[in-house]
Structure 1
Amino acid sequence: MSRLPGSCPFPIAARGLRSMMSRPILAITALAATLAAGLVPVRAEQTVTTRYGVSIIGLPVGKASFDTTIDGSRFSVKGTLSSAGLGSLVSNTRGTSRVAGKVTSRGFAAESYGLDYTSDAKRWSSDVAFSGGRVTSARVGPKRAKAKPDYVPVQRAQLRSVVDPLSGLMIKTGDAASVCRRTLPLYDGWSRLDLKLSPAGTRRFDMPGFSGNAAVCKLRIDPVSGYDRSSKGLKFLKGQTLELWFAPIAREDVYVPVYAHIPTTVGPLTLSALSVSVD
């Protein structure tokens, strides 16, 4: 059994996006997070630890750490996240996120995804089951009391080929130029949206444990269902171009997010991988 910590704290960053959109879409742009350890061949009990930081207008507001376990053809990820720095002064946010499924030749195929977090005494949770990319069940809390007239409900047909916010952001390819040429059909239990990536060059990314080039993607969010049309935050977000960097930090053919730049109404929110270490 190999134990590989890694991933990305998009759930924390999404708290700001959620307040803008009035929906708890987490791990967005995901946002979201991702398996920073990748499908790297390792000896038993080898541990790769990846830490992430979240800032808004350059000020630290959150942190996260994720543990990935790969056991043959199975994988699981368990992460913790919390507010930090100035974020701790204005909000007490703590939570966990997890995903589990199969390791395939194409990457990770999730079978279950879950999120549970508390912010200022309010709690949100999500549990989603998948089979071959199709959603077989989804439970969220709290449940929507009554849908607004402009609410766009999620249709079953829209959940036949989707990815979760964690393993869905891992891109397995041997062609670096193709990383940003795709659309990710995201579903987190609340909302269904497409993350549309397009190439924007490459940038150098350096941190303890990794130095190399990252594929820079421009990202547009296209909501599909599970949202209110009248949401001012959603209208703002739809008009923005986000930026997401992917790098092969563990293996040459597996690209994961190492940096994200997300516009918000109070200033840019950034997420960045801080370090990768192997024990």
Structure 2
Amino acid sequence: MLNARPILLLAFLLGLAMPQAAGAQSFSSDYVVSLIGIPIGRASFQTSIGRGDYSVSGTLGSSGLGSLVSRTDGTSSVAGRIRGGALQAERYRLAYTSDGRSWSSDVRMSGGRVRSSTVAPQREGPRPTDYVPVAQGHLRSVVDPLSGVMIRAEASEVCNRSLPLYDGWSRLDLRLSPAGTRRFSATGFSGQAVVCHARIAPVSGYRRGSKGLNFLQGQTIQLWFAPLGETGIFAPVYARVPTQIGPLSLTATRFGAR
């Protein structure tokens, strides 16, 4: 069975469409989640941008054949400030349920630094010997999985960066590199998308012996970013992630103002 948390995290990585704006603006983005070409879930996100703040809320649920194999539902949200053109999260939350079991994460941040982090359920007993703990130094200059993928840059520079992600459990770097452009269309958008290759580099909060993570470390993820109007913001519209079962993809069916 495919682990639910990576699917949710990858869906939430795609779930934003939010420019900096002089007045409040609202955007919607919808995605189809597919495994080896078979639709297994859907995700939807609503975003509000004010003069100096922003908020995003998203939901994901299994559907179609995905519901027959494993029932999964999740929510995620982030709220923060816009300073110097950059999105700075103040509170990020993720909660999901899979086959009757529930997990949640609540991270509070300030200036790119984690101030507090609470996850449930709390782990009982000693950690496995191959577990890499999250050190305080790993919680500085980080971004949450939602705000982190909003990139203000010229198209040629979108992929020239590494994203230091933290979700309450794990700290990892998502290292992007340029891979050209591709045409992409969805309700609200039609045009050229910037294609990035991405590699995962775990930092802490993981087990060295994790078969799933070790597999993913050796794979190349595709992330496509599309410009949102004239805002100068690029946001993801497509992802393709290799898994041990087959390719997992998330594709925007709607991307734009509501």
Please classify the TM superposition score into its range, dividing by the shorter chain length.
Answer: over 0.9
> Which amino acid in 1 is paired with 2:216?
L
Could you tell me how far apart the structure 2 residues matched to 1:25 and 1:124 are?
A: 13
1:183 to 154, 162, 178: 162
2:97 equivalent in structure 1 = 118
Contact 2:41 2:63 in 1 (8 A): yes
Deviation at 1:277, TM superposition (A): 5.3
Q: Which runs of 5+ in 2 are unaligned?
A: none
Report the more deviating stretch, 182-191 or 79-88.
Answer: 79-88
> Which amino acid in 2 is paired with 1:64?
A
Contact 1:29 1:244 in 2 (8 A): no
Deviation at 1:123, TM superposition (A): 0.3
> Which amino acid in 2 is paired with 1:32?
L
2:81 equivalent in structure 1 = 102
> Which amino acid in 2 is paired with 1:73?
G
Is 2:112 aligned against 1:133?
Answer: yes
> Which amino acid in 1 is paired with 2:13?
A
Could you tell me how far apart the structure 2 residues matched to 1:275 and 1:25 are?
A: 22
Is 2:234 aligned against 1:255?
Answer: yes
1:230 equivalent in structure 2 = 209
Number of residue equivalences: 257
Deviation at 1:144, TM superposition (A): 2.0
1:32 equivalent in structure 2 = 13
Q: Secondary structure at the match of 1:78?
A: strand
* CA-atom RMSD in angstroms: 1.9
Is 2:48 aligned against 1:69?
Answer: yes
Contact 2:11 2:250 in 1 (8 A): no
Q: Percent identity?
A: 55
> Which amino acid in 2 is paired with 1:171?
I
Could you tell me how far apart the structure 1 residues matched to 2:191 and 2:22 are?
A: 20
Q: Which runs of 5+ in 1 are unaligned?
A: 1-14
Post-superposition CA distance 1:53-73 (Å, at most 9, x none): 100000001111111122321
1:85 to 1:39, Cα distance in 2 relative to 1, 3 A: farther
Deviation at 1:30, TM superposition (A): 6.2
Contact 1:39 1:251 in 2 (8 A): no
Could you tell me how far apart the structure 2 residues matched to 1:34 and 1:266 are?
A: 24
1:117 to 1:30, Cα distance in 2 relative to 1, 3 A: closer
Is 2:187 aligned against 1:205?
Answer: no
TM-score, normalised relative to structure 1? 0.87
Q: Secondary structure at the match of 1:235?
A: helix
